[in-house]
Chain A
Amino acid sequence: MSGYTEGIIILLCINAIAAMGVSVLTGFTGIFSLGHAGYMAVGAYTTAILTVEYGVHYIPAILLGGAMAMVIAYVIGVPTLKLMGDYYAIASIGLGEAIRLILENWQSVTRGARGYPGIEGYTTLYVSLAFFAVMAFGMFNLINSRFGRAFKACRDDYIAASLLGFNTARYRILSLVISAFYCGVAGALLGGFLSFIQPIMFDMIKSTELTSVVVFGGLGSMSGTLLGASIITLVTELFRPISQYRMLIYGAILVLIMVIRPEGIMGQYELGPRLFRRLKDKFSFRNRDNSEGRSS
């Protein structure tokens, strides 16, 4: 395999892990975030500092990076997740930017905007594939478990879910913490892929990219998220020869998919026998989409 393909696959795995994290929060629990690059940054910096300064092996360091992101998410989530809908989304912009600002200003630890060099290049093809496989396996199990159903209940009808005895506030925080772990690990892998991190890599553009991927693939569909992450990563890569037009096309695709199929490529369906049964009866499939009203 050529190194170029390898590079694309590694980036794909990293993007997919981060997107899965955002997906469980946005697609499954109905909490819209525009600040998840912040958790990637926490994971990346924690892992970088652990491996470089303390000589920790990269695997525990990556996991600790994810754990650190979880801790931060918990601390942030408890007060802010009381906010619903757009309001949390707006708050999350502030939260993500605040994390980046702290990284820029805390120069004694993070070396500020000049970046953190000399990270070991631990994110090889196999490491990233292994992380992706394990985390995807975990994620698909999670969304089909009791927790996954509870998340969806919070998303679909918050009030009904709490009347049914779900501790919705707890599930919302749990969902955020899990998503932060995924993003933290993705950030840590990105650090190992680039051997160098800077706060600017985790700006709001990165956050919106993550959320766009999830909406693009289909809210409430984990396979859609993976498909969305693959398409977006490949589109930017394949259009490389027409460099200046690349971002224009990216933006246009985003708008087009929302206009043509707002529920995303996969809608709420997963790749599997159920989807094929639906595809057979295409007519009713279309009707279903149009009457969909999964608003928050």
Chain B
Amino acid sequence: MKRVGIVLLVSALVLSLGAGAALAADTIKIGYLAALTGDWAAYGQTEEKTAQLAVDEINAKGGLLGKQVELVVYDFRTRAEDAVNAVRRLAEEDKVVGIVGANGSGINIATAPLVNRYGIPQIGTVSTNPFVTVDKNGKVRPYSFRVCFTDPYQGKLIAYFSAKELGKMQAAILYDVGSDYSQGLREFFMKSYGEYGGEVVADLGFRAGQDVDFRAQLTEIRDKKADVLILPNMGKEMALIMKQARELGMDDIVFVGGDGYAEFMWEIAGDSMENSYWINHVSPDDPAMAKFFADYKAKYNDECKEFVNGILGYDAMYLMFDAIQRAGEADPKLIAKALSETKDLQLHHAVITMDEFHNPLDKDGIIIVAKDGHGQFYMKIKPE
């Protein structure tokens, strides 16, 4: 019994190694880092699917530079130490020309020194922390890019929208202490909101994962008479917060959230979602994205409910395709150069121009309003 087990284990190891080496045809390989297991699995799995969709589309059109594109996806189980070795493997074993992902700023910051040493461009999908593309001295990292906007910009958008568009000046904020994304947005929101003349009357935290009950914090927010509740969190937590807030009879408070909005929140929060506002990169009813949603459904027989990750992953792939096309050959250094020169590129969800810090320049903030059971386009904003 024991020996059989060991033999099986060893042969499985050998097989898996062999399988990795056998796929060495003449293709252009693009690596993808996605959390397929662990807490972010829902988002990572969607990104994997949409990235594959983009690859299939480009291959159907004849590929890039006359070659087929091959996607190499590695899981990093939400751990940075796993991600850095995935990047090493992508660079050295798979010889990818570029890497897309990961869906988490911390992972991108940890892999940034590595991709810059290898000279392989990496495009973060939803990695909003400023340090993803610049080092701690504010110097740009030549091979690190992102397709989303940054925390300071998004924080400012949320503040601008709440104060100037909605005219709500008494904000409460409920953020995830354990999440870099949430802490970052909170910090930059508070800064901008103050500048717009708003006052944060309640600044409360929770911890995702173990905390699923927010009524204690909500009760306090109710007592502080806040007129808007800022939610810089992930979809599940925001949905739960809204549902519990309405259960506590907080009927008047307006919810304004960040790009963690996802369509699955309707399943959780139901009617509590109605009339909440979401600062986002793209709206799910954007006509330009209709084909994407239809193709996704046709290919996977499933709705793309984590659409922010899905669309950003999809368009990050197209951003990479465009750079490879313009570079003229599958050389990582030329691709990185082409990426940094990206100008007025029409992607599916937005027009992208890379600024000097490798962030998309002045991307419009899209406001989604939750109405009649789904997220709808409300307005575009560009803060003063």
Q: How far in angstroms is the closest Cβ of chain A from B52?
A: 13
**Segment at the A interface, from B176-184, B236-244, B270-278:** B176-184
Taking a contact as CB atoms under 8 Å apart, the answer to whether A198 and B106 are in contact is: yes
Identify the interface centre among A200, A239, A253: most chain B CB within 10 Å of its CB: A200
- Judged by a CB distance under 8 angstroms, whether A293 is at the interface is no
A7 and B179 CA atoms in complex are apart in Å by 27
B106 A115 Cβ-Cβ under 8 A: yes
**B50-92 at interface with A (beta carbon < 8 Å):** 73-75, 77, 79-82, 84-86, 88-89, 91-92
B129 proximal to A (CB < 8 A): yes
Tell me which residues across on chain A come within 8 A of B152, comparing CB atoms.
Answer: none
A-B complex: 5 closest residue pairs judged by Cβ atoms: A118-B136, A243-B75, A7-B88, A4-B88, A4-B92
A234 contacts across to B, CB distance below 8 A: 13
Contacting pair B82 A114 (CB below 8 A) = no
Residues of A within 8 A of B301 (CB): none
Indicate which residue in B37, B38, B93, B180 contacts A4 across the interface (CB closer than 8 Å): B93
CB distance from A2 to the nearest CB of B (A): 5
Task: Given A4-B93, A114-B180, decide whether A196 and B106 contact each other with a Cβ distance below 8 A.
Answer: yes
Q: Which residue of B lies closest to A246 (CB)?
A: B75
A114-B184, A194-B80, A261-B2 are known contacts. Are A240 and B75 too (CB-CB below 8 A)? Answer: yes
B160 within 8 A of A: no
CB of A104, distance to nearest CB on chain B (Å):
5
**A2-B92, A196-B110, A242-B16 given. 14 additional CB < 8 A pairs?**
A3-B88, A3-B92, A11-B85, A107-B183, A113-B180, A194-B81, A201-B81, A237-B85, A239-B13, A243-B37, A243-B75, A244-B37, A256-B5, A260-B5
Chain B residues with CB under 8 Å of A240's CB are 74-75, 86, 89
How many CB-defined contacts (below 8 Å) exist between A and B? 117
Whether A113 contacts B183 by the Cβ 8 Å rule is yes
| A-chain residues with CB within 8 Å of residue B106 when the two chains form the complex | 115, 196, 198, 200-201
Nearest chain B CB to A262 CB, angstrom units: 12
| Chain B residue at minimal CB-CB distance from A199 | B178
Which B residues lie within 8 Å of A101 (CB)?
Answer: 207
Let me know if A241 is at the binding interface, CB within 8 A. yes
B16 near A239: Cβ-Cβ < 8 Å? yes
Contact (Cβ within 8 A) B129 A114 = yes
Contact of A247 with B by CB under 8 A = yes
Evaluate whether A244 and B36 lie within 8 angstroms (CB atoms) in the complex, with A194-B80, A198-B180 already known: yes
- A261 to B137 alpha-carbon distance, docked (Å): 52
Q: How far is the CA of A240 from the CA of B88 in the complex (A)?
A: 12
B17 interface residue per 8 A CB criterion: yes
In the complex, chain A residues 224-268 whose Cβ is within 8 Å of any chain B Cβ: 234-244, 246-247, 253, 256, 260-261
Chain B residues, CB < 8 A from A115: 106, 109, 180
Q: Tell me whether B20 is interfacial, beta carbon within 8 Å.
A: yes
CA distance A198 to B16 in the complex (A): 32
For residue B6, give the distance in angstroms from its CB to the closest CB of chain A: 10
Q: Known contacts A3-B91, A200-B106: does B84 contact A193 (CB below 8 Å)?
A: yes
Residue of B nearest to A6 (CB): B88
- A to B CB contacts below 8 Å, 27 in the list: A2-B92, A3-B92, A3-B118, A4-B91, A6-B88, A8-B88, A14-B81, A104-B178, A112-B177, A114-B183, A117-B109, A117-B131, A118-B136, A194-B80, A196-B106, A196-B109, A196-B110, A198-B180, A200-B178, A201-B106, A238-B16, A243-B37, A244-B36, A244-B75, A246-B75, A260-B2, A261-B2
Chain B residues 129-150 with CB under 8 Å of chain A are: 129, 131, 135-137
In the complex, the answer to whether B92 meets A117 with C-beta atoms within 8 Å is no
- Bound-state Cα–Cα, A196 to B109, Å: 7
**Which residues 104-144 in A have Cβ within 8 Å of B in the complex?**
104-105, 107, 112-115, 117-118, 121
Q: How far is the CA of A236 from the CA of B37 in the complex (A)?
A: 13
Chain A proximity of B146: nearest CB distance (Å): 15
B24 contacts the other chain (CB 8 A): no
Residue B25 interfacial (CB < 8 Å): no
- The size of the chain A interface, using a CB distance under 8 A, is 47
For window 149-204 of chain A, which residues contact chain B by CB distance below 8 Å? Answer: 190, 193-196, 198-201
Residues of B within 8 A of A244 (CB): 36-37, 75
Among B17, B36, B81, contact of A11 (Cβ-Cβ < 8 Å):
B81
- Smallest CB separation, B357 vs chain A (Å): 15
Q: Which of B240-286 contact A (CB under 8 A)?
A: none
CB proximity to A under 8 Å, residues B102-124: 106, 109-110, 112-113, 118
Q: How far is the CA of A16 from the CA of B38 in the complex (A)?
A: 23
A200 to B92, CA, bound (A): 28
**Which residue of chain A lies nearest to B134 when distances are taken between CB atoms in the complex?**
A117
Whole-angstrom distance from the CB of B156 to the nearest CB of chain A? 17
Are A190 and B81 closer than 8 Å at their CB atoms? yes
Distance between A146 CB and nearest chain B CB, rounded to angstroms:
36
Which chain B residues in 1-41 approach chain A with CB under 8 Å? Answer: 1-2, 5, 9, 13, 16-17, 19-20, 36-38
Cβ contact within 8 Å between A113 and B109: no
Tell me which residues across on chain A come within 8 A of B176, comparing CB atoms: 113
- Identify B74's interface contact among A3, A193, A243, CB under 8 A: A243
Bound-complex Cα distance A243 to B180 (A): 25
- Roughly how many angstroms separate A201 CA and B84 CA in the complex, as a whole number? 13
- On whether the beta carbons of B80 and A243 are closer than 8 Å, the reply is no
Bound form: Cα–Cα A3–B5 in Å? 32
Residues of B within 8 A of A261 (CB): 2
